[in-house]
A and B are shown apart, each in its own frame.
Chain A
Amino acid sequence: MSASPLSTTPAEGLSSAHFATHLSRSAALPAWWLDAKKAAWNQFTALPLPSRTDETWRFSDLKGLDLTGFGLPEAAPQATPKHAAFPQSAELVFANGQATRGPVPADLAGRGVIFAPLEEALREHGDLVRSYFQKHPANLGSEKFVALNTALTATGAFLYVPADVEVALPFVVQHTLTGQNVAAFPHTLVVLGPRAKATLVEFFVSGGAASERQLVSGVNDLHAAEGAQLTYVGAQHWSRQTLAFQVNSIAAGRDARVLSLNLHLGGRQARHESHSRLLGPGAHSEMLALTVADGDREFDQRTLQTHVAPHTTSNLLYKNALLDTAKTIFSGLIIVEPDAQKTDAYQKNRNLMLSDEAEAHSLPGLEIQANDVKCSHGSTSARIDAEQEFYLQARGIAPAAARRLLVTAFFEEVLNKLENEDVHAALTALIASRFQA
């Protein structure tokens, strides 16, 4: 795409001029929203970039956090979804911020389901958005980039499912970013009322050439009220030169069950933060992630499972396959607060080393302040099991195919936790396309 009038020279970054233009475009939105944006912009400019002594950035490539030269994109041509199509409730597509929406089926709309671009939701359901927007910040180190998201976000989906409404088919959101030196700030807000049930699947892709340098700072706020069941899937396949931040916050109320699965395939340096808060007895959070790290990419994943209420459970499984000279960082923490007796929390990071040059960092942590708990974590880093490889080869499967099978099997443990077979198949296809390329 042609250079936007807002694109900056490489020496500059996102400036207050960008912010002023962005604000003027948002003028029709509620005053509280604009105030929040101004405060966030000030916070973004005031906060320093992460430094070497910053524990939440331990092992990260800080030199890669280069924000200079990025500007806001102009609208791009309509994007065509890159994932396999599957039955869905409704779809929202953002191409460089321009929203295209499919209709929400009348029966869902009639029962009060809202699925709309964030800005539309701000205009029409401002109070609802306001009471949940950034209610539980993740606070895992990317505060500066979250502030940037709040200041500049104009895209993203708002999904609201009222009490007792169960939606079987997934809602789908597609974000496409096209252009050199452009930045995107998607913000997704999901609110499930008591006993509601829904699935949201988000795809994040770069639309242009793999060499396009892009910046993404995305945020998700996921809220599941008592007894609600939420499945969230985020799959990113950014360009090879993208610097991406994605910050996830999950709040699970009494007896709520939240499953989040993040698939990381792209970017030059991609950081993902995810914080689950178990706020009511019986709450459960299943935190899953799959990463295919190849080339010289860096995937940096930071997680926190905070058990606030007693009788809560959480289970984290993050699997990384490492090829070439790629680098992954997993830093996870389970916090059991003093009142959260009878907590059952688990955390596991498994790194499959497929190259002699790949580098896996694992920091699985625990902070336990209650004694009647079951908490454990595990971390392994190893190559493909030689016996399994031999077994397959002995049955006539070529070495490369055998390896591919075993890598697929490695990921299958995570994908199997998805109830929806179509979503499962779409993710499998995305991963497979990656290994063919």
Chain B
Amino acid sequence: MKPPTDLLAEPGLDAPTHETTAVENPTVGIDQSAGDFTYDVKYEFDAGNGLNENVIRYISSVKKEADWILDFRLKAYQTFLAKPMPTHWATKDLENIDFNKIRYYLSQGTKPKRTWDEVPDDIKKTFERLGIPEQERKFLAGVEAQFDSEAAYSNVKDIVAKQGVIFCNSTEALREHPELFKKWFGKVIPTGDNKFSALNSAVFSGGSFIYVPKGVKVAMPLQAYFRINAENFGQFERTLIIADEGAEVTYMEGCTAPKFSTSTLHSAVVELVALKGAKIQYITVQNWANNVFNLVTKRAIAMEDAEVKWIDCNIGSRLTMKYPGVILKGRRARGEVISIALANDGQHQDTGAKMIHAADDTTSVIVAKSISVGQGRSTYRGVVHIPKHLKGCKNNTECDALLINTNSRTDTYPAIVVRGDTHAVQHEASVSKVSEDMIFYMQQRGLTEAQAMSLAVNGFVNDLVRQFPMEYSVELKRLIDLEMEGSVG
């Protein structure tokens, strides 16, 4: 899949060379499971398999990036090479990632590449049952590169543009508005934060860059749906949201439907900056295919009186490692993470939160609920850090795990550091199963065991799901119903 060089604007530019031959359907040495589906597609731009400096130069030149971005990428690549896998604390499964078999950049242009008829029946059925709107289904199935219902949202886009909100992808943002974005780009999550943030920094493409001016309150949630293109659900998207003083914004990404995926490694970096008095809410609902390694770094910085809330829902994937964090940098800043994880057979949800208190009177809340079904494994991993010389910090953490089957597994690994005597920190975790009494009661009233189980599981996460935007919470409930099927009896 060598890219046609004549399509490239810059003369003399050639595709990167690779020692390995192209693999049509890259996997990480495991079977493609039913949830995953891919098509054989000819991409307009394809950086091929494997990673080296040429690949990075190729990506950068396709994007016509400024020199400083290329330098940033190349440095990040060196950091990526130097960093070890974090297997001294994380699962050994990470060692199964073969970086040489992964494609780091694909761009398919704007033409539809396949038809709805090619979409596997079970996927269509899933969309049907989840109640995904017709137009969205086509996009989600990868049938359409452009989301047809963009028109429906364009009013929203116009309204926010009138308010001075900048909303574009990473390439455009760094090219058109470097004065706004360069200051914070890579600052909340430094390249060297971990091996995968370094990888993202080297090969990022797609994602959303948003700037909300001072005092602007964006009334409706901004969604990744807006300016969807082939890159948007890319493997290495990069998101940076800056809410200037007193601004408010809600951002939503992902969807509950099984996601069309071209790769087995997804590694995003999401940085949020809430300046004085700003509020950011970031909502993620993800349902990756069963062969995807979803290794994402998400962190926010909250200045004085600012509030950041992460709502994070992880369903699917082979391994998800994601710990949204808030650095509480200004006085009275507030951080919150609401996390729901559902792990089914062959899946490991290693999720949690990080709260780094760095100013007086800061507060943070973590509520994490996980459900393990079949042989699924869910893990809560968290950090609460209250360093020296701070006063009046508060944290409250609650982790609840629900185990559905006898062979389901759950782990909890919090780390709490508190210095000084003016703080209040509480952590509580519990593990339970659905009570037999509850199931019996519902069966008495005519529900099947599976329906009763679904209802009980929905009840377990209900107080969190209610915090989601309505359409998400409806989809989430249906998705839980789907996941619970076949888990009983």
Interfacial residues, chain A to chain B (CB-CB below 8 A): 53-55, 58-59, 338, 341, 351, 353-383
Given A357-B419, A376-B430, do A366 and B412 touch, yes or no (CB 8 Å)?
yes
State whether B408 touches A358 (Cβ < 8 A).
no
What are 27 A-to-B residue pairs whose CB atoms are below 8 Å? A54-B88, A353-B418, A355-B420, A356-B420, A356-B421, A358-B421, A359-B417, A360-B417, A361-B415, A361-B418, A362-B416, A362-B417, A363-B415, A364-B414, A366-B429, A366-B431, A368-B411, A370-B403, A371-B406, A373-B403, A374-B431, A377-B429, A378-B429, A379-B414, A380-B425, A383-B422, A383-B423
Which residue on chain B has the smallest CB distance to residue A335? B411
Report the minimum CB–CB distance from B15 to chain A (whole Å).
38
- Please indicate which of the listed interface residues A361, A365, A383 has the most CB atoms of chain B within 10 Å of its own CB: A365
Is there a chain A Cβ closer than 8 Å to B68's Cβ? Answer: no
Given A371-B404, A382-B424, do A376 and B431 touch, yes or no (CB 8 Å)?
yes
- Please indicate which of the listed interface residues B404, B406, B421, B425 has the most CB atoms of chain A within 10 Å of its own CB: B421
Residues on the A chain within 8 Å of B121, using CB: none
Q: B408, B415, B427, B428: which contacts A58 (Cβ < 8 A)?
A: B415
State whether B420 touches A363 (Cβ < 8 A).
no
Given A366-B411, A367-B411, do A378 and B427 touch, yes or no (CB 8 Å)?
yes
The residues in B between 389 and 411 inclusive whose CB is less than 8 angstroms from any CB of A are 389, 401, 403-411
Report the minimum CB–CB distance from B438 to chain A (whole Å).
14
Is there a chain A Cβ closer than 8 Å to B444's Cβ? Answer: no
State whether B416 touches A379 (Cβ < 8 A).
yes
Q: B411, B417, B419, B431: which contacts A373 (Cβ < 8 A)?
A: B431
19 more contacts with CB within 8 A, not counting A59-B417, A338-B407, A355-B420, are A338-B406, A358-B419, A361-B416, A361-B417, A363-B414, A363-B416, A364-B414, A366-B412, A368-B409, A369-B407, A371-B404, A371-B405, A375-B431, A376-B428, A378-B426, A379-B414, A379-B416, A379-B427, A382-B424
Shortest 8 CB-CB contacts between residues of A and residues of B: A371-B403, A353-B421, A376-B430, A366-B412, A381-B418, A383-B421, A375-B431, A362-B416
The docked-state distance in angstroms from the alpha carbon of A40 to that of B430 is: 40
Given A355-B421, A358-B420, A359-B417, do A341 and B406 touch, yes or no (CB 8 Å)?
yes
Q: A341, A360, A364, A374: which contacts B432 (Cβ < 8 A)?
A: A374
State whether A370 touches B406 (Cβ < 8 A).
yes
Number of contact residues on B: which range applies? 35 or more
State whether A359 touches B422 (Cβ < 8 A).
no
Residues on the B chain within 8 Å of A368, using CB: 401, 403, 409-411, 431
Interfacial residues, chain B to chain A (CB-CB below 8 A): 88-89, 388-389, 401, 403-433
The docked-state distance in angstroms from the alpha carbon of A375 to that of B428 is: 11
The docked-state distance in angstroms from the alpha carbon of A246 to that of B81 is: 40
The docked-state distance in angstroms from the alpha carbon of A374 to that of B400 is: 12
Residues on the A chain within 8 Å of B422, using CB: 356, 383
The docked-state distance in angstroms from the alpha carbon of A370 to that of B410 is: 9
Which residue on chain A has the smallest CB distance to residue B426? A380
Which residue on chain B has the smallest CB distance to residue A322? B421
Report the minimum CB–CB distance from B392 to chain A (whole Å).
11
Which residue on chain B has the smallest CB distance to residue A330? B416
Residues on the A chain within 8 Å of B388, using CB: 357, 359
State whether B415 touches A373 (Cβ < 8 A).
no
Given A381-B416, A383-B421, do A373 and B427 touch, yes or no (CB 8 Å)?
no
Report the minimum CB–CB distance from A55 to chain B (whole Å).
5
Residues on the B chain within 8 Å of A365, using CB: 411-414
Report the minimum CB–CB distance from A323 to chain B (whole Å).
10
State whether B429 touches A53 (Cβ < 8 A).
no
State whether A382 touches B425 (Cβ < 8 A).
yes
Report the minimum CB–CB distance from B52 to chain A (whole Å).
28
Q: A341, A377, A379, A382: which contacts B423 (Cβ < 8 A)?
A: A382
The docked-state distance in angstroms from the alpha carbon of A369 to that of B431 is: 11
Report the minimum CB–CB distance from A309 to chain B (whole Å).
16
The docked-state distance in angstroms from the alpha carbon of A360 to that of B416 is: 8
Residues on the A chain within 8 Å of B420, using CB: 353, 355-358
State whether A360 touches B418 (Cβ < 8 A).
yes
